[in-house]
Amino acid sequence: MRKNESLEEMVTRRNKRLKSLFLRNGINVRLVGDDQKPAVIMDESVVLSCYVKNFDLHFTKEPFSDDIVKTVKLKHDPEITRFELQEVVESCKHRPVYRILLKDTDLYLVGYNYLNSEDSVGRYPVFAKFKPKVYFDRIYAEKVAESLTEEGYVIEII
């Protein structure tokens, strides 16, 4: 941690390096969830089997495993080649994520708006092309899809 740097600033700096590591090596990722322990979503289709602790990125053999395949220090200039990074990503087993698509469009559920955000009254789904809401559990995605269908939306889970 840098002198006079808050925990929040340090986490932001670390997550910026995490995202940069993948992007500069040609792997499309986005971080979702808790900033302290973000999930790394690759190509909007899988959550990578990895986690960050301090400035170390640990790749695990499979989801929820303690079996670390490789650790990368998230330095300003990480010591891993594009080939090594792709190789480690391919050697691990990853979990699929599910997205809700507005049928016959390229619009995904990205979140909700509320008439009154104070008490969550009048919840309205918001659909957009980018940064879809991702679900780690198919059954939960199906429940959300079912409620949207009941509201008259024609959707599909992908």
What is the arithmetic mean of pLDDT over 75-93? Answer: 92
Q: Give per-residue pLDDT as tens, 116-151.
A: 666 666 778 999 999 999 999 999 999 999 999 999
DSSP 44: T
What is the arithmetic mean of pLDDT over 37-51? Answer: 96
State the pLDDT at residue 122.
75
Instruction: Write the DSSP string, 83-141.
Output: HHHHHHHHHS--EE-B-EEETTSS-EEEEEEEEETTTTEEEEEEEESSS---BS-HHHH
Domain ranges of the chain: 7-96, 100-157
Query: What share of the chain has pLDDT > 70, as a percent?
Result: 96
